[in-house]
Chains A and B, each alone.
Chain A
Amino acid sequence: MKLFYSFFKTLVGQPVTVELKNDLAITGVLVSVDQFLNIKLDNIKVVDEERYPHMLAVKNCFIRGSVVRYVQLPAPSVDTALLQDAARRERQQPAAGPRK
């Protein structure tokens, strides 16, 4: 259940791009993540700044997990074999039931 929470914790300090469900994309350094996969980013830059000057004065932010569509990661930071393995194990023995 906490697989992706643990996975994201290993990426703290990396640059990531968070794409929201309304297509807005924000690049920043991953500062923290929580059990709901809420994400905190530092030094943010909105992708396509010209279209979205609304957030010029925002340098770091908290993004609610429920509005995230994708989190784009630097490929070298991800051990895909390890992740696949962990996902396989999680599937065979889920750690907990569905969250409320």
Chain B
Amino acid sequence: MSDQLRSLVDHPVFVYLTDGRTLVGQLMGYDQAANVILSKTHERIFSSTEPMKTVPIGVYVIRGETIALIGELDEELDDQADYDNMMVEPLDPIAL
């Protein structure tokens, strides 16, 4: 497990939580339970009626239990993405 997240440390990441929220930030650290520390965290709020909103929320410690997915954010692709016109439903929460 430690190796799986080690390659993402100090990289910008996309975190998808089990309650459906999506965060982006810089991965500062993690542990065996996939608890994670994120800095420069922004929540990305999607809506089918409005363009995507970004809310900065600073440094977060996220409990591993609530993490569904951690993706490496490709900043080039992220810059190219048209979030200002992206009107989609937020991701579904995960019923565990």
Contact status B72-A61, CB under 8 Å: yes
Q: Do A38 and B77 touch (CB < 8 A)?
A: no
For residue B18, which residues in chain A have a CB less than 8 angstroms away from its CB? 67
CB < 8 Å neighbour of A24 from B70, B74, B92: B92
A-B interface pairs (CB < 8 A), number: 89
B81 in contact (CB, < 8 A): yes
Contacts A38-B1, A53-B86, A64-B64 aside, 16 further interface pairs with beta carbons under 8 A come to A22-B20, A24-B91, A32-B3, A32-B4, A35-B1, A36-B1, A40-B4, A52-B91, A53-B81, A57-B81, A58-B14, A60-B71, A61-B71, A62-B4, A63-B68, A67-B69
Establish whether residues B14 and A21, one from each chain, have CB atoms under 8 Å apart when the complex forms.
no
A53 to B78, alpha carbons, bound, how many Å? 11
Given the contacts A55-B71, A58-B72, A61-B69, A22 and B95 also touching, CB distance less than 8 Å: yes
For B3, list chain A residues within 8 Å (CB): 32
Q: Are B74 and A22 in contact (CB under 8 A)?
A: no
Task: State whether B78 touches A57 (Cβ < 8 A).
Answer: yes
Cβ A57 vs Cβ B88 within 8 A:
no
Chain B interface bracket (under 10, 10 to 19, 20 to 34, 35 or more): 35 or more
A66 to B63, CA, bound (A): 13
Chain A residues in the interface with B (C-beta under 8 A)? 20-24, 32, 34-36, 38, 40, 44, 51-64, 66-67
Contact present for A23 and B92 (CB under 8 Å): yes
Report which residue of B1, B22, B73, B75 has the largest number of chain A beta carbons within 10 angstroms of its beta carbon.
B1
Tell me the nearest residue of chain B to A51, going by C-beta. B88
B37 to chain A, nearest CB (A): 15
Q: A32-B3, A35-B1 are in contact. Are A57 and B92 (CB under 8 A)?
A: no
Chain A hits for B67, CB < 8 A: 64
- Chain A CB count within 10 A is highest, among B20, B68, B74, for B68
